[in-house]
Structure 1
Amino acid sequence: MSRREVPPGECPQCWQHAYDRNAHRHLAPREDCPQCVDHMINGHPYLVPKKSV
């Protein structure tokens, strides 16, 4: 899969985990991703800045 550029206002980790199958390849079926769970609990540490108009 070609790497997609993260759109403005989005979290790079969430974007990668949503569109890159390799992000969750190491998990067993129905196993939660620790990084995704951390995001759900603590929120996004970084968002791609939106371009100023």
Structure 2
Amino acid sequence: MGIPPGQCPQCWIHAYDRSIHKRLKPREDCPDCVAHMLHGCPTLTPKKKSTWW
């Protein structure tokens, strides 16, 4: 599973790997996701340089 350029690794993994949230009870928020929503995405995978110019 590769993270697309320009995407946050944590957001991507938490969105597509169901095993991360499996341990949570029904309607329980993931503490990592909540902290990430409050503080933003600190790391983004670098985008590829545009070859247009």
Q: Would you call these one fold, judging by a TM-score over 0.5?
A: yes
The percentage of counterpart residues that share the same residue type is: 62
Residue 30 of structure 1: which of 3, 8, 27 is its match?
27
Counterpart code for 2:9 = P
Larger radius of gyration: 2
> Is there any run of 5+ residues in structure 1 with no aligned partner, and where?
none
Question: Alignment length, in residue pairs?
Answer: 50
**Structure 1 stretches of at least 4 aligned residues deviating more than 2 Å after TM superposition:** none
Matched, 1:40 2:34: no
User: How high is the TM-score relative to the length of structure 1?
Assistant: 0.88
User: How high is the TM-score relative to the length of structure 2?
Assistant: 0.88
Q: 1:5 is matched with which residue?
A: 2
Residue 15 of structure 2: which of 7, 18, 24 is its match?
18
> Is there any run of 5+ residues in structure 2 with no aligned partner, and where?
none
